[in-house]
Amino acid sequence: MRVGLVSQWYPPEGVFIPGNLAQHLSARGHHVRVLTTYPSYPHGRLYPGWRQRWRHVEMQGAVAVRRVPAYPSHDTSALRRAASHITFGVSSALAGPNWLGGVDVTYVYHPPPTAVAAAALVRAARRTPIVLHVQDMWPDSVLHSGMSPTGLAGRAVAGGLDVLMRTAYRLAAAIVVISPAMAALVVERGADPSRVRVVWNWTDDVLFRPVAPTDAARATLGRRDRCTVMFTGNLGLLQGVDTAIRAAAAVRDRVDLVLVGSGAYEDEARRLATELNADNVRFVGRRPPTEMAELYAAADWQLVCLRDLPALRGTVPSKLQAAFACGAPVIAALGGDAAALVESTGAGLVCPPGDWAVLADRLRQAADTAAAERVAMGQRARRAYQERMCVRVGVDQFEDILTKVAAGKGRP
């Protein structure tokens, strides 16, 4: 099978799904061609050593990767973010018909929805079917991110994005979502239920695995002789970091909260920690992916939290899969399918999103949990990951979907 893969995010960026899928499909004998842009995520700056130009082709193993220019941005400016997505949509659409012209099926990683442009043109010219992989509900997540305009302009943005997403759903022969709640949402927005499949996200199984804690990792976290809770990844506007900091401030005498990552909300989060005199909250910045498994092992718990928004009920943050893969117990301060997963597997503690007082109670409960029970929770998390979410399980499902769609059956 000849597979085209379109994604604005691709290795060496730390977005694992598109790159893992391409490499594993290739290893199974499929021919994979990737259309992406130059690496700039998460800081919105071109990686050192890279220079944007129109025609750039590289081989990553047997996978051919074509990169096209786009405006790099990942800050809090709605205009710059829009420019990034639109320029990728335009440049990929210009390159797509030629680069993807011979494929049997095109996989599109969403967001952003502008990534569909190239696949849509190839579909129009050659009737090549599209498999759309929805990671995030637009326009909801955009409108609640704090970057979208308000008033008439905000309504115009919402309307435009809604039309764009409904069009993408209509064009796709198959729509893959990351949770059952998200499946219900895309059907509510106009997707044909017979075309929707749920495939849990995976993480990088090589990087994220159970390991022994090291002295270096303990030093990075600033470990003291008490309960240490770690939050990893994007410090953005939807992650509910403010709730976590307020909860940690309420238990400063018992629990340390270590934030490993960066993002648009980082400066505000630092100010809040200072205002609350939360000297038990530490920011250590973004760390290389190769260090993360040891950091997971050095902490007692992993915190996964989101804001309390209906559109986020179907969101399963990638840090949850990473924690499960590492065999780490989880404190889940969110709703929907992610919370249900933690609760049903017995992999940790759960509380509603957006309530710092209840989260503070969970932090106290975490500090009181015996080490043996923490280990058992981590083992249950690891088992759930291997059975439901690992790379092999996910690629098996995608191979089945892509093969059926490419064969012209029209349904996953």
Give the pLDDT confidence of 222-273 residue by residue, as tens digits.
999 899 999 999 888 889 999 999 999 999 999 999 999 988 889 999 999 9
Q: Are residues 62 and 100 in the same domain?
A: yes
Q: Are residues 235 and 368 in the same domain?
A: yes
Q: Which amino acid, one-letter code, is at 96?
A: G
Q: Is the pLDDT of residue 402 over 90?
A: yes
The stretch 370-392 carries a mean pLDDT of 97
Task: Confirm whether 256 is domain-assigned.
Answer: yes
Q: Are residues 161 and 38 in the same domain?
A: yes
Q: Is the pLDDT of residue 144 over 70?
A: no
Task: Confirm whether 121 is domain-assigned.
Answer: yes
Residue 47 CB partners (closer than 8 Å, separation 6+): 12, 38, 39, 40
For the chain, percent of residues with pLDDT exceeding 70: 96
Q: Is the pLDDT of residue 410 over 70?
A: no
Confidence (pLDDT) at 131? 98
Give the residue from 284, 234, 231, 236 showing the smallest Cα distance to 257.
231
Which class for 91: exposed (0-12), middle (13-18), buried (19 or more C-beta within 10 A)? Answer: buried
Q: How confident is the model at residue 109 (pLDDT cuts 50, 70, 90)?
A: very high
Q: Are residues 340 and 397 in the same domain?
A: no
* Alpha carbon distance 105, 128 (integer Å): 6
Domain that holds residue 97: 2-202+390-406
Q: Are residues 401 and 270 in the same domain?
A: no
Q: Are residues 186 and 239 in the same domain?
A: no
- Give pTM, 2 decimals: 0.88
Q: Are residues 128 and 165 in the same domain?
A: yes
Q: Are residues 153 and 221 in the same domain?
A: no
Q: How confident is the model at residue 321 (pLDDT cuts 50, 70, 90)?
A: very high
- Name the DSSP class of 255: E
Q: Are residues 229 and 363 in the same domain?
A: yes
CB 258 within 8 A of CB 280: no
Task: Confirm whether 141 is domain-assigned.
Answer: yes
How many Å is the Cα radius of gyration of the chain? 21
Confidence (pLDDT) at 310? 79
Task: Confirm whether 208 is domain-assigned.
Answer: no
Task: Confirm whether 139 is domain-assigned.
Answer: yes
Coil/strand/helix, residue 271: helix
Confidence (pLDDT) at 313? 81
Domain with residue 118: its CATH number is 3.40.50.2000
The stretch 39-45 carries a mean pLDDT of 88
The b-or-e profile of 14-36 (16+ CB within 10 A means b, else e) is bbbbbbbbbbbbbeeebbbbbbb
The dihedrals phi and psi of 136, each to the nearest 5 degrees, come to: -150, 140
Confidence (pLDDT) at 14? 83
Q: Is the pLDDT of residue 150 over 70?
A: no
Q: Which two structure tokens, joined as six digits, stand for 178?
A: 């990351």
Task: Confirm whether 151 is domain-assigned.
Answer: yes
Query: Which CA distances in Å does 321 have to 230, 300, 326, 382?
Result: 15, 17, 9, 9
Q: Is the pLDDT of residue 412 over 60?
A: no
Q: Is the pLDDT of residue 376 over 90?
A: yes
Confidence (pLDDT) at 146? 61
Structurally, the chain folds into a number of domains equal to 2
Which class for 153: exposed (0-12), middle (13-18), buried (19 or more C-beta within 10 A)? Answer: exposed
Q: Are residues 272 and 378 in the same domain?
A: yes
The stretch 339-346 carries a mean pLDDT of 96
Task: Confirm whether 207 is domain-assigned.
Answer: no
Q: Is the pLDDT of residue 290 over 60?
A: yes
Q: Are residues 67 and 136 in the same domain?
A: yes
Confidence (pLDDT) at 149? 62
Which class for 124: exposed (0-12), middle (13-18), buried (19 or more C-beta within 10 A)? Answer: exposed
Q: Are residues 126 and 236 in the same domain?
A: no
